[in-house]
Structure 1
Amino acid sequence: MKLRNVPLFAFIAATAFAGAAHAAIDTTQFQVKITITESCDVHTVNASDIDFGTHVRSTTATPIDNQGALQLNCSRGTPYQIALDPGLNSSSPTAAADNRRMTNADGGLVPYGLYRDAARTQFWGRVLGTNTVGGTGTAAQQSIPVYGRVAATDVAAGVYLDTITATVTY
């Protein structure tokens, strides 16, 4: 009789261990993700006006030069291009060295140019990579000069204005 109990005990023990061997397992996977973008903070793009001052009407073609600046902050390593449109009173929808114009209340016009260089030989337009100013962000504010020139002041007396839109592409 005892021999019969031993195999029964062995069967019960084997069954108990077999149940542990058949425990269920399930797995899943998940991703850890971050997206980094380049940035030029449009809210910190500022411009200082170009004020050519007050001048007497003159028939001599002595150019009047002055400059302003664009301040922008792009993330470190971000390449950018800055374009300037032709203004509100341009003689053409394409920016060129001689087609920007300031206007007064009577509709009079004063031609002027905006340039990328202090010598005022490279006009500033909006064709990326051709007549724009490029750079790389430093994660700090950068000052980009805008050089202006009025070729002559042989126009009616008055206050002349124009508005330029600067566009940063990055």
Structure 2
Amino acid sequence: MLSRNFRKLSLALAFATAINHPMPAMAASGSGSISVGSNVLSVCLVFGSTIAFGSYNMAQLDQTGSISVICTFGTSYNVGLDAGSGSGATTSVRKLTGLSGDTLSYALYRNSGRSSIWGSNVGTDTVAGTANGLLQTLTVYGRIPAGQAPKADIYSDTVTVTLTY
């Protein structure tokens, strides 16, 4: 029995010594890195509304429409308008064409005073902007000048909007 008690006492002393004198932990560590990246592309969309002049009675007729642009934040862009599909049209004098083939002249402008023609030459007669990441609306100012004597008809034109970015 003494031997058994001695063994228990020896184990207890060894345990007490280990607790009072801890051994240093042996651990190792390493480090590395990973690459993280992304590409954000410039993307733009453009939408145009109808400019409905209504009935023309030989007096000047003004109306507005809009072009909406949405691009990736920070993207620089230019919005241009071509001459339209009317026969003989230019960006300065566009042509609404009737079902009979007759035309009615009109113009599209970049400003409310209707003094700056909206054309298609980037840096000259287009509208420039920088995207804020939200839908941005540009006003198109239209005018049919007074003094034209068109035949009674339904007149229309299609103008292509070009967004350069």
Q: Same fold (TM over 0.5)?
A: yes
Residue 154 of structure 1 pairs with residue 149 of structure 2: yes
Task: Check the 8 A contact 2:60/2:143 in 1, yes or no.
Answer: yes
Question: How many angstroms does 1:72 deviate by?
Answer: 1.5
SS in 2 for 1:70: strand
Task: Check the 8 A contact 2:41/2:72 in 1, yes or no.
Answer: no
Question: How many angstroms does 1:96 deviate by?
Answer: 2.8
1:86 alignment partner in structure 2: 83
Normalised TM-score (structure 2): 0.74
Counterpart selection for 1:138 from 132, 141, 156 = 132
2:11 alignment partner in structure 1: none
Amino acid at match of 2:52: D
2:47 alignment partner in structure 1: 46
CA RMSD of aligned residues (A): 1.8
SS in 2 for 1:125: coil
Normalised TM-score (structure 1): 0.72
Hey, what's the Cα distance between the residues in 1 that align with 2:115 and 2:40? 39
The structure whose Rg is larger is 2
SS in 2 for 1:46: strand
How many residue pairs match? The answer is: 132
Question: How many angstroms does 1:55 deviate by?
Answer: 2.9
- Structure 1 stretches of at least 4 aligned residues deviating more than 3 Å after TM superposition: 30-33
Hey, what's the Cα distance between the residues in 2 that align with 1:84 and 1:96? 8
Identity of aligned residues (%): 36
Residue 35 of structure 1 pairs with residue 29 of structure 2: no
Counterpart selection for 2:60 from 51, 60, 63 = 63
Task: Check the 8 A contact 2:82/2:91 in 1, yes or no.
Answer: no
Amino acid at match of 1:111: S
SS in 2 for 1:76: coil
**Tell me, which stretches of 5 or more residues in structure 1 are unaligned?**
1-29
2:5 alignment partner in structure 1: none
